[in-house]
Amino acid sequence: MSNHVFKVEGRAIPIRGNDIDTDQIIPARFMKCVTFDGLGEYAFFDVRFDDQGNGKDHPFNEEKYQGASILLVNSNFGCGSSREHAPQALAKWGIKAVVGESYAEIFAGNCVAMGIPAIELSHEAVEEIIRLVEEDPSLELTLLVREQVVQLGRRTFEGFIPPAYRNSLTQGTWDSTSVLLDAPEDIDKVAARLPYVSGF
């Protein structure tokens, strides 16, 4: 399976609002876990459910957005604490890419470290895409990483992905474990030079 991320296609789910922080994305009490498995059900939990567990009016609760894989957001998304659990919760819910106006730097870095592109578009472009998706949730979006564009029908919206993030995604180096596993001879050479590693 390739670790290169050139393109993400899928339906989208809009989350309106600026400065949505990581505590909204995944409340701290759900971070006491050994693995990230199951975190998806807690994404946006406190804004999705009341104290009795009844569902609130939130896109993640709406049937029409179930199965969506591209998250649409406004500005400074993922601000607050630098918890890796935030993009993990989104990924476990099913998100494979984020399209927004801007992101907290650490959040964007954590996304890329998981192979999730986070592209920045203008306010006007994001609002137009959100409007179109809200009108027709069945619309398919395409995010082209190398070209830094989002396509929606015949419309093309130009965006920006920092060069380091873009290169990491398209070259497959975002997955450090796979990079290491693909280079066993290099690992052996380095290990042989280390006095505290035996057996080489």
Domains, the chain, in order of start with CATH, read 7-173 (3.20.19.10)
Report whether pLDDT(1) > 50.
no
Q: pTM, whole model, 2 decimals?
A: 0.84
Q: Across 2-6, 42-46, 61-65, which has the greatest mean pLDDT?
A: 61-65
Report whether pLDDT(178) > 60.
no
The full 3-state SS of the chain, as one line of letters, equals CCCCCCEEEEEEEEECCCCCEHHHHCCHHHCCCCCCCCHHHHCCHHHHECCCCCECCCHHHCHHHCCCCEEEECCCECECCCCCHHHHHHHHHCCCEEEECCECHHHHHHHHCCCCCEEECCHHHHHHHHHHHHHCCCCEEEEECCCCEEEECCEEEECECCHHHHHHHHHCCCCHHHHHHCCHHHHHHHHHHCCCCCCC
Looking at residue 41, what is its pLDDT? 86
pLDDT digits (tens, 9 = 90+) for 54-74: 999 999 999 999 999 999 999
Better pLDDT: 45 or 196: 45
* Averaged pLDDT for residues 151-156: 95
Looking at residue 199, what is its pLDDT? 60
Looking at residue 29, what is its pLDDT? 66
Better pLDDT: 54 or 198: 54
Better pLDDT: 197 or 114: 114
* Averaged pLDDT for residues 67-85: 93
Looking at residue 28, what is its pLDDT? 77
pLDDT band at 85 (very low <50, low <70, confident <90, very high): confident
pLDDT band at 81 (very low <50, low <70, confident <90, very high): confident
pLDDT band at 183 (very low <50, low <70, confident <90, very high): low
Better pLDDT: 193 or 119: 119
Better pLDDT: 156 or 200: 156
Looking at residue 88, what is its pLDDT? 92
Report whether pLDDT(158) > 50.
yes
